[in-house]
Structure 1
């Protein structure tokens, strides 16, 4: 069939997706277990999707099923009648055993691996669903129910919420041209809420610049933003005087390590562009590769196009954008996303600004991967790592905003610890994220301590001690003599 994805392409997409996810798993035991068990879990997901779609099996289903394996694991060789029996006898969705350990790792590290796995599961189910070139309502519903089951486990364990929107299976339902996509009632704001939102005063340029100045560190970034604002102001004055104004691209590249404030600055810039009249709305839409790329033919263009539509009038912020060009495979769907993105930038010059962000080296490779990217992104903002003093200031700010205080001993311990953390940093250094994780764990340790007190005072409810911080840093195990 025209546009059909072959079994070989299914295998390649599946293996590349799992390999990319596996590289994000820091725990060696979990990584080995995931490698061993993931194929079995995802083949079961394929059975569930096909049963939900009516249970009719074709030779193409057999080819797809036998393509679901990763390097080093057994290659399936199921026969037609065996697959028919397996589909009809599918017992229902069960979370994989390794998902429990994954959540436990997230609880300890404060990471979001489990919620990323939910996106991987949804995308693979949609990949399997496309065996007949159609993603049906029933198949999307199955993917959604699987995602809900896994999400409920994450919520039950108190894992932190994701920073970007999850993959929505119903966005991939194959519809007839005249059939509009259903819009959930929950997504439609009540009239009162909409009016309240509209009546909320928008921040002025001065207020937004003050917010930028209040951010810890980022001296060079603040200077770059102010220069950009001045450039826009002067350009407008020249236009008013009938003077020539050379072409100017407002699309930006943010270079730096995680936790250096890139998303925060992008959100402020969206507001600044709006306050200056450059953008009509000024909203920020944040995505990464999973928010633009689908796992099968034809759907990446739709998914990327929808992200562009949501961002019209504001800023589309693409985190870890280098992942869109991270594969040497000429058929990688990330390249398709880049082409759709570039077309969207060309078609919506006056109401769309795109900011791409990521590590310096990979981002330079990404920008050189397509001439259109190099020509549209010529302004670079460099986000330096926070030093020890800046990390301490961030911790103090978190305490102040949330009604906590550091005892003198805790403040001294934090100063030494964060200075050491900065000076001994490696590729896993998380900047402000490390501080936030330390703060959140310290709160949990303090709660355990204060809950054992009889009628604790206001000061005791607020105080974080050096012991709270040490326990938070050591995963709950204090060190003798510390």
Structure 2
């Protein structure tokens, strides 16, 4: 049965959600802008959620939750009742926050996904206020989804793509009988596969040799390639010992990927899932990628369900948890991330033969994450380190992107790119995005080249393909 959320707990969850997102913002000016505006903005959104639920009668809990954005323990001032009642009655149209434009501008310059991540946090925080009466209604979920969709539409308009599906509020609508058992997750494994799943199963799978060729074709990652091949040899020899009737010591295939963003961690994880399948270690070999927002819910009673649903999708393959360190809040032992970890550990034990988990993130933060729980330490004992790409490797990645997409670099453009990427590597800081920076450079170059070539009367095939130095360089208008 779902517990009743207290105002103090609401404050705690809200504060931790906002603080976690603030830490994701690398730029100090943008981080400060978000911090100044977030509380007032979410208070206004809470009024919209309650209006969507037809909350004509404002209760003390509404006022306490409204007050909880600023205070977890202080009593609500009596004047707040009037503020909430008139605010709910007079709530008009949803408006994006002022800082959302700044987030999108930053994403466009740096190739990050801050704006789309905000939409997920926004959804969870609004659901927190929907749970003021311990029920998330269809009308409340519909309002939250509509608001989130309008924010995502702005991202799409700006050409900002995401690397995972957005969170949907209707996943959290309270069922008619919240005390009844939740059969959804176990039933999912018993249903017959959909026709498209059967079609995927029947497709020929790549051989181990083909997958190793794909691994070798990746730029850089020399040590990671050696570690993957060593792991393959370990699995092979274990199978041979089993066939020979020799004892086989216990071995965990769960992995920790350490390294900065854009170093190929997801790509290698996807290859490893297929390699494990080709060797008979996993029956399916799919990769399910999530981060904290995909596992942790914003209010009492939902994190375990949400995490279990994600794990069900990953059974038979690999669950890849990016920035897994965000599941552990060192300052808050009661954070819902710990509940997600407990569900994860239980499933790793229950599905030892058909689930492999890979956790990834910054080296120092991941070390703290693994050592925060004895269960994690015992299951994750293999570490792959993904080094930053140097200038030459970044240029090779750019050349590969050009070749794959039918573009060529003029000799002058190639020389400029080599020097620029070398400088980018030598002067890298905490915002260095590795291959993501190269992808951002390439996409902007393609856009500038399109503007340039569109002005030509009858461009040749070569002109349609060639990138010039001016296509690669940012103009003064873009930097201001």
Q: Answer whether TM exceeds 0.5 for this pair.
A: yes
Q: Distance in 1 between matches of 2:103 and 2:77?
A: 26
- Give the secondary-structure state (helix, strand or coil) at the position aligned to 2:311: helix
**Preserved CA contact (<8 Å) 2:282 2:316:** yes
Q: CA deviation at 1:98?
A: 2.5
1:427 pairs with 2:430: yes
Q: CA deviation at 1:194?
A: 4.7
| Structure 2 equivalent of residue 185 of structure 1 | none
Q: Provide structure 1 residue ranges, at least 5 long, that are not aligned to the other structure.
A: 183-187
Number of aligned residues? 468
1:19 pairs with 2:22: no
RMSD in angstroms over aligned alpha carbons?
Answer: 2.5
Q: CA deviation at 1:442?
A: 1.0
- Give the secondary-structure state (helix, strand or coil) at the position aligned to 1:210: helix
| Structure 2 equivalent of residue 292 of structure 1 | 295
**Preserved CA contact (<8 Å) 1:95 1:150:** yes
1:87-125 CA-partner distances (Å, limit 9, x unpaired):
233223222233223223322332211111111110011
Q: CA deviation at 1:381?
A: 0.6
Q: CA deviation at 1:9?
A: 1.7
| CA pair 70-151 structure 1, distance change in 2 beyond 3 A | farther
- Give the secondary-structure state (helix, strand or coil) at the position aligned to 2:46: helix
Q: Distance in 2 between matches of 1:194 and 1:354?
A: 22
1:423-477 CA-partner distances (Å, limit 9, x unpaired):
22222211111111111111111111111111111101100112211237x7746
1:307 pairs with 2:316: no
Query: TM-score normalized by structure 2?
Result: 0.92
**Preserved CA contact (<8 Å) 1:273 1:282:** yes
Bigger relative CO (Cα 8 Å, ≥ 6 apart): 2
Q: Distance in 1 between matches of 2:280 and 2:139?
A: 45
| Structure 2 equivalent of residue 114 of structure 1 | 115
**Preserved CA contact (<8 Å) 2:120 2:293:** yes
- Give the secondary-structure state (helix, strand or coil) at the position aligned to 2:319: strand
Q: Distance in 2 between matches of 1:455 and 1:326?
A: 59
Q: Distance in 2 between matches of 1:77 and 1:370?
A: 44
- Give the secondary-structure state (helix, strand or coil) at the position aligned to 1:471: coil
| CA pair 189-54 structure 1, distance change in 2 beyond 3 A | farther
| Structure 2 equivalent of residue 150 of structure 1 | 151
Q: Distance in 2 between matches of 1:294 and 1:201?
A: 38
Please point out which of 317, 320, 328 is paired with 2:320: 317
| CA pair 215-454 structure 1, distance change in 2 beyond 3 A | same
Please point out which of 190, 208, 212 is paired with 1:209: 212
Matches within 5 A, 1:40-439: 40-55=40-55, 56-69=57-70, 78-159=79-160, 161-175=161-175, 176=177, 177=180, 193-194=196-197, 196-439=199-442
Q: CA deviation at 1:334?
A: 1.1
| CA pair 192-273 structure 1, distance change in 2 beyond 3 A | closer
Q: Provide structure 2 residue ranges, at least 5 long, that are not aligned to the other structure.
A: 186-190
| Structure 2 equivalent of residue 7 of structure 1 | 7
Q: CA deviation at 1:301?
A: 1.1
- Give the secondary-structure state (helix, strand or coil) at the position aligned to 2:261: coil
| Structure 2 equivalent of residue 466 of structure 1 | 469
Q: Distance in 2 between matches of 1:165 and 1:382?
A: 28
| Structure 1 equivalent of residue 37 of structure 2 | 37
| CA pair 438-119 structure 1, distance change in 2 beyond 3 A | same
**Preserved CA contact (<8 Å) 1:39 1:70:** no
| CA pair 190-226 structure 1, distance change in 2 beyond 3 A | closer
**Preserved CA contact (<8 Å) 1:293 1:303:** yes
**Preserved CA contact (<8 Å) 2:111 2:436:** no
Q: Distance in 1 between matches of 2:82 and 2:414?
A: 68
Q: Distance in 2 between matches of 1:424 and 1:98?
A: 28
Q: Distance in 2 between matches of 1:441 and 1:327?
A: 39
Q: Distance in 1 between matches of 2:37 and 2:123?
A: 17
Q: Distance in 1 between matches of 2:422 and 2:2?
A: 60
- Give the secondary-structure state (helix, strand or coil) at the position aligned to 1:381: strand
Q: Distance in 2 between matches of 1:378 and 1:268?
A: 20
1:184-216 CA-partner distances (Å, limit 9, x unpaired):
xxxx99977455434432211111111001101
| CA pair 115-475 structure 1, distance change in 2 beyond 3 A | farther
Q: Distance in 2 between matches of 1:157 and 1:190?
A: 37
Q: CA deviation at 1:7?
A: 0.9
Q: CA deviation at 1:47?
A: 1.4
- Give the secondary-structure state (helix, strand or coil) at the position aligned to 1:444: helix
Q: CA deviation at 1:19?
A: 2.1
| Structure 1 equivalent of residue 188 of structure 2 | none
Q: Distance in 1 between matches of 2:2 and 2:264?
A: 45
Q: CA deviation at 1:32?
A: 3.5
Query: TM-score normalized by structure 1?
Result: 0.91
- Give the secondary-structure state (helix, strand or coil) at the position aligned to 1:255: strand
| CA pair 309-296 structure 1, distance change in 2 beyond 3 A | same
| CA pair 435-82 structure 1, distance change in 2 beyond 3 A | closer
1:8-67 CA-partner distances (Å, limit 9, x unpaired):
121122122212222333455543332232222211221122222231432111110111
**Preserved CA contact (<8 Å) 2:296 2:303:** yes
